Amino acid sequence: GSCPPQTRLSGAPLWGQPMALFEGELGEVCQGVMLEAPAFYLLHGSDDDVFRHGASYLTLADLLQPLRVCTLNFDEAAGDCRTLTELADDYARRVLADLDEHADGGVEGGGRGRHVALVGYGLDAVVAHRTALALWDVSVEVALILLDSEVTWPPEPSMERLGGYPWLGGQVEAAVLACRAFGLSELARREVVSLQEFPNNLMTPEEVEEFLMRIYWEVASVSGMPQSYFERYIQDSSYVLERMQSLAGAFGAPDRVFEGPTLLLLARASLAEFGAAARAGAERFCGGEGLEVVEVPGTHYNMCQRDKVGVHIALPQAISEFLLRRGFFGPEAMQVILAAAPLPDGPSGLPPKRLACAAYMEFVD
């Protein structure tokens, strides 16, 4: 069937399109194409930006501007794919088409001579790995960035992880993810354990409705979320979760190693739950000697969201410094970044973009 509609929130990509260009605080600058800088493609399907309106990725987009920052959306065409490999190949074609559309004589090889960075989060990390392989095969210089996530599926058995226990249905899984996103992990674990008692782990429609309302009141008590928003979230996310579950199934491990540069960002507060498995998968299937692992503040579910004092600077800073070390930026591109309008000051009193660029400027000076 077709994808359900999704309302566009401020700054978020319009879901339902094959590709969306973020328009954040520096929207006009973001529209420009800087050929000395990498193009970022954020896979936005069943990622762990749980509420699927781009809140987490918008933070990244704002801090990575004035680079070209786009999402590869799980739209109707993506929903028609029959396997994760088909989905990854579809995303690779979209990236190549975008590079060709914005080609320029300033880069050797035109658009396809430009560096690319793929960002994967949650189950989308599996798709990002496959997409990186497809781009690498046609000689695109691509870096893979994994946000606290594995490149294998399903994860090891666990009552705390999507995929770590028998599938509970799209609506139930979406509600459980909402609990985890708002710090109600223990509640989510208890609910998952109790649901194992249902035949085939499935409930009647009436039981599902009762479950959703119970979860809503728990989530609302800590978030103030309106019921209409929660219902829309369940509708949108359950569709994508169902489709991604059917694509992933027992995907297992990748059939080969991505040899390009890879950055694995681990959420410090979720190391026990996610860190060891994500690291093991990355060490086996990513980067070889080109793999870097960096810990950043936060949990798996809020590591790149805005927090009460601003934003998590450490994550975009780690991404920028990684790509700087790998030669993905040219000097002219960095000068443009430094001249861009600053975002709210970070903890050090410096604009986040200047924090992210400090290592490069020390190098070129």
pLDDT, tens digit, 9 for 90 and up, residues 94-109? 999 888 877 654 444 4
229 burial type by CB count under 10 A (0-12 exposed, 13-18 middle, 19+ buried)? middle
Is the pLDDT score of 216 beyond 90? yes
Q: Which residue has the tokens 């960095």?
A: 334
Is the pLDDT score of 2 beyond 50? no
Is the pLDDT score of 47 beyond 70? no
Minimum mean pLDDT range among 131-135, 200-204, 220-224, 242-246: 200-204
pLDDT value for 111:
56
pLDDT value for 365:
37
For residue 195, the surrounding DSSP H or E stretch is helix 185-195
At 242, is the pLDDT very low, low, confident or very high (cuts 50, 70, 90)? confident
Cα–Cα distance, 319 to 187 (Å, whole number): 33
CA within 13 Å, CB half, 199: 1
Is the pLDDT score of 266 beyond 80? yes
267 Ramachandran zone, left/alpha/beta (phi>0; psi -120 to 50): beta
* Global model pTM greater than 0.85: no
More confident residue, 321 or 109: 321
Is the pLDDT score of 359 beyond 60? no
Over residues 33-40, mean pLDDT: 63
Average pLDDT, the chain: 75
Is the pLDDT score of 340 beyond 60? no
More confident residue, 355 or 244: 244
At 171, is the pLDDT very low, low, confident or very high (cuts 50, 70, 90)? very high
pLDDT value for 201:
64
Over residues 282-302, mean pLDDT: 87
Q: What percent of the chain has a predicted confidence (pLDDT) above 70? A: 66
